[in-house]
Amino acid sequence: MLRGKFFYKGRFVEAGIRVEDGVITEIGKLVEGRKVRGVILPAGIDVHVHFRDFREKQKETIETGSLSAVYGGICLVIDQPNTIPPIDNFEIYDERMKIARKKCYVDYALNLALTNKNIGKINQVIRKVKRKYFLPAIGEVFLQHKDRNFEISYESLKFVSKGIHKITVHAEDPEFVTDGIPNFVFRKREAEITAVKKCLAISNFHFCHISTRDAVKLILNSNSTFEVTPHHLLLSVENFKDLGEFVNVNPPLRSREESFWMLKNFSLADVLASDHAPHLIDEKANGAPGFPGVETMYPMFVALALKGIISFKDLVEKISKNPARIFNLRGYGEIEVGNFANFAVFDFKAIEKIDESKLHSKCGWTPFKGFEAIFPREVYIRGIEVLKTEEKVGKVL
C-alpha cells in the first residue's frame, strides 16, 4: 500500500492506494500506506518500440530495451515486427514471445507484420496467434520501405483491412521518398500527407508517428487515431547542426515551425509513443534511420508538464489512458480501482540533464543529450517495485 500525492481522475489528490495481488482495490483519503517521496503518476505504456533482437541483437535486445523502459517509467511496451527475420508467421511470433517471457523487465505485447509474403494468409496467421496470445494490432504497415517484402501497396492495404480489428500504418507515400543524408531533404512532408489522405479513403487506421499539421487535421476529421513522438515535437531540421549524420529518422524531422505547432497542439494527439528505434553509432554514420527513446520519453514530458508547456492531464491521457483504450489493454491505463498497480514516482525537484552514459539502451547514444528530464525514483509493475531491484517481472500478453 502507498500513500501520497498522485494523479487521479484528472487532478492531483492526496490519498492512499491499497493493492492486493497486483491490482488496485481501494483509493481513498482514509487508506493508510507507506508515504511516497515524490508524485505518483500511472506508469507509461509505449505502444511503439523496436527492440531488435534476433539477428540485430548487437544494437538492442528485448532484455536491454525493456530495462531502458523500466528506467523511463514504462510498464508495458508494444514491440514492432519488422525484425530480421520478420515476425509474419506464428512460429516466429511464438519464438519471440518465448524470449520475452524470460528476458523482459516490463509487460510485453507484440504486433504481427503484414508482408507481401503473408498477405494471402494473414487471417489464418491472426487466428493462430490469437489462440495463444493477445494481439494488439497488425503493423506497423509500411507503404514505403527499402525491403520490398515490407512495402505494402494501397490496393493490398484495402484488401486486408476488411475484417482485421486494428491496423497501424507508417504513412509515407513512396512517390515522395528517395534516399539521402540528411533525409529531411529527400523525404518530403507531402509523403505523409498524401499517404494519410489515401489511407483514410480506404478505412480507419491507427497512424504511427505523425509529424505534420496537415496530416493531423486530416486524421481529426476521421475516426482514425494517431500517435506523436518526442523527436517530432522537440527536435527539428535546425538540430542538424548538432546531430549531423545522426539526424536520419523516418518520417524525418520537420521545420522548427512545424515541430513547434505539433508541441503546441499536443492535446490533439491520441497517443505519445517513442518509436524507440536504436542503431549503433557506426550504423547512424552510414545513414540508418531511427532514434532511441523509450527511456527518455516520459521523463522529458514530465519536465515539460512541470514547466506548464503541456498539461499533466494531457500527458497522462496520451501515455497511459488512451494507449490502454485504443489497444484494448485491459487492466492498464489510469490509476483506478480494478487496474493493475502500475506506478511511476517522480520527484519534481530532481530535474537533470540527459546524459547518454547513464542510459540503458545497448546503442549507446541519444538525440536528446542535454535535454531536461525528471527520471522516476520508483517504478511499480503490478505492485512490485522494480527500479531498484531490476527484477524481471514482465509478463507477455
What is the C-alpha to C-alpha distance for residues 320 and 47, in angstroms, rounded to an integer?
A: 10
Q: Is 275 a catalytic residue?
A: yes
How would you list the strands of the sheet with 167-170, edge to edge?
138-142, 167-170, 206-207, 225-228, 271-272
C-beta of residue 28 within 8 angstroms of C-beta of residue 2: no
C-beta of residue 251 within 8 angstroms of C-beta of residue 275: no
Cell of 180: 539521402
Instruction: Give the closest residue to 80 by CA, choosing from 62, 64, 102.
Output: 62
What is the C-alpha to C-alpha distance for residues 362 and 63, in angstroms, rounded to an integer?
A: 10
What is the C-alpha to C-alpha distance for residues 354 and 72, in angstroms, rounded to an integer?
A: 12
The catalytic residue among 46, 79, 107, 275 is 275
290-310 burial, b for 16+ CB within 10 Å, e for fewer? bbbbbbbbbbbbbbbbbeeeb
Give the CA angle between residues 58, 62, 64 to the nearest 5°. 65
Indicate the SS3 state at residue 156.
helix
Element (H, E) at 19: strand 11-20
Environment class of residue 84 by beta-carbon count within 10 Å: exposed (0-12), middle (13-18) or buried (19+)? exposed
Catalytic positions: 275
